[in-house]
Amino acid sequence: MTVQFINSRQAAKLIPDNATIALDGFLGSDVPEEILENIKSRYIKEGHPKSLDVWHASGIGDGIDKGTNNFAVKGLLHRLVGGHWALAPQLQPLVAENDFEAFNFPQGVLSQIFRDSAAHKPVQINRVGLGTFIDPDIRGGRLNKAAENATLVNKMSIHGKDYLAYEVPKPNVALLRGTYADENGNVTFDDEPLTLIATSVAMAAHNNGGKVFVQVKRIVKAGSLKPKDIRIPGVVVDYVVETENEAMTMQSTSTQYNPNFVNQNVIVPEGEINIPLDAKKVIARRASLLKNEKDTVVNFGIGKYPETVSLVLKEEGKAEDIITTVEPGTFGGVPLGGGDFGCAISPESTIDEPYMFDFYDGGGIDITFLGLAELDKLGNVNVSQFGPKIAGTGGFVDITQNTPAIVFTGTFTAGGLKEHIEDGKLIIDHEGKSDKIVGNVQQITFSGNVAFNNKQQVYYVTERAVFKLVENGIELIEIAPGIDLEKDILAHMGFKPHISSNLKLMDGRIFKPDLMRNQEQVVQPVI
């Protein structure tokens, strides 16, 4: 097989109508942006390629117009199956208008599904998604009416246990990005912060008779690349696309190039950590106290509350023995947020994304700290869809269904909430417009019933109340000093929770400016 060297405009010309495309990327990392933009441009000018089926594991885009936003043109898509949707706001009106079939499956499932496709397996069997909106007994991962007649996940029983059987795609086009390609089409990822699902996607398209396109920074001579550095072997590559615009090779949504993303021997000064004492810190402090000494492998979700937990652990000197993981494949280092999420400064190791989810699925994480958007009477959590706004699950479902200890973090209400800490008490200045603890969540991203049956330890930490998952619901176990149980908590819930017979005030150290480690623990019963 002889690889062909073409430009991105020629690549777009070679995408047929009705193609099934396997797309790699994570936010802005490893995204073949130049090819995607030319596909959109060609469709607008020529009406081709049309009716595409696109499958991608992670959120791909910048929240404005890049990544999968390039598919947001009427008629360009027939179906999109994605692990995360929030980064592609331009697609969401088309989902609401039923312009194409829209599905949301767990990121981990989709990262692993291309390995099964490469091996010609008909389905991927997994317990991830049971009891959530992905379960065929609920929504089957469908996001709109256009998807109602398509079934991509079924339920089956093995040895008396329920499993989900996800239909495996057969892509005939793979769109990928690496750093260097040699004259034989071998591709390395020297400057890319992540390797993601590139190997699996390339093999899936190749083994299903499709074409593999890889966008790279530079083409180099055959034999100049180290064999172990090659992540995509040339035998499965059909077209190499040398990038014409350097801006299309950004390491992440926010960073053009930072060598510290790919090097380990980097000394990063910690600097002074001084987090202001506010509701966010109160939540993070209380959540951090749920980590025990044996919890060494930790996952922090995206968002200000989980990220603040990480900062509090560092501030309190409790982070030295922690190994952090981020779902696209990094262990250790300093995980980054915002547009650099998924990357890390000086990671200890970076592995392919499917293997990271193998690690997660097998219970490799000791504890995870995640965001809390909406909670209901059964302990279910919704972080994936709110009315017409589709966020998607990302790795949330995979992580929460396989981690023994889960701590959800967030404020009690939302929309204009203003609070302050005074004399060791929480003072509510202005209540939020929206209650986040409701009778029934809009979409089940986390199933309380499944977690309870799996014997997972689950806590829901807010600035004024702490709940624990119990059988058939949640139990209020702590309230903040200065908070009135009836007025400030129960009046803002869509139901009355179980209330612990040993209801306590939250640890008083949380509400004082000094480091918690320099204070004596103060936990008092609620009178």
- Joined together, the tokens standing for residue 90 give 């331009």
Q: How many CB atoms lie within 10 A of CB 417?
A: 18
For the chain, the maximum distance between any two Cα atoms, rounded to a whole number of angstroms, is 78
Residue whose structure tokens are 């400064």: 345
Euclidean distance between CA atoms 338 and 324, whole angstroms? 17
Q: Cα separations (Å) of 495 from 83, 258, 435, 447, 502? A: 32, 49, 11, 18, 20
437-438: strand order across its sheet: 381-382, 374-376, 437-438
- Asked if 327 is an active-site residue, the reply is yes
Q: Evaluate whether 197 touches 353 at the Cβ level (below 8 Å).
A: yes
Q: Cα separations (Å) of 65 from 70, 160, 217, 447? A: 7, 46, 22, 33
Spot the catalytic one: 33, 101, 307, 327: 327
Euclidean distance between CA atoms 431 and 436, whole angstroms? 12
Quickly list H helices, 242-336: 279-288, 304-315
Stretch (H or E) spanning 45: helix 33-46
Cβ burial 218-252 (10 Å sphere, 16+ → b, else e): eebeeeebeeeebbbbbebbbbbbebeeeebbbbb
Q: Evaluate whether 392 touches 82 at the Cβ level (below 8 Å).
A: yes
Nearest to 469 by CA among 366, 383, 372, 360: 372
At CA 414, angle to CA 408 and CA 419, rounded to 5?
Answer: 95
Nearest to 218 by CA among 253, 183, 252, 256: 183
Q: Are strands 230-232 and 187-188 parallel, antiparallel or unpaired?
A: antiparallel
Nearest to 131 by CA among 397, 434, 439: 397
Q: Which residues are tagged catalytic? A: 327
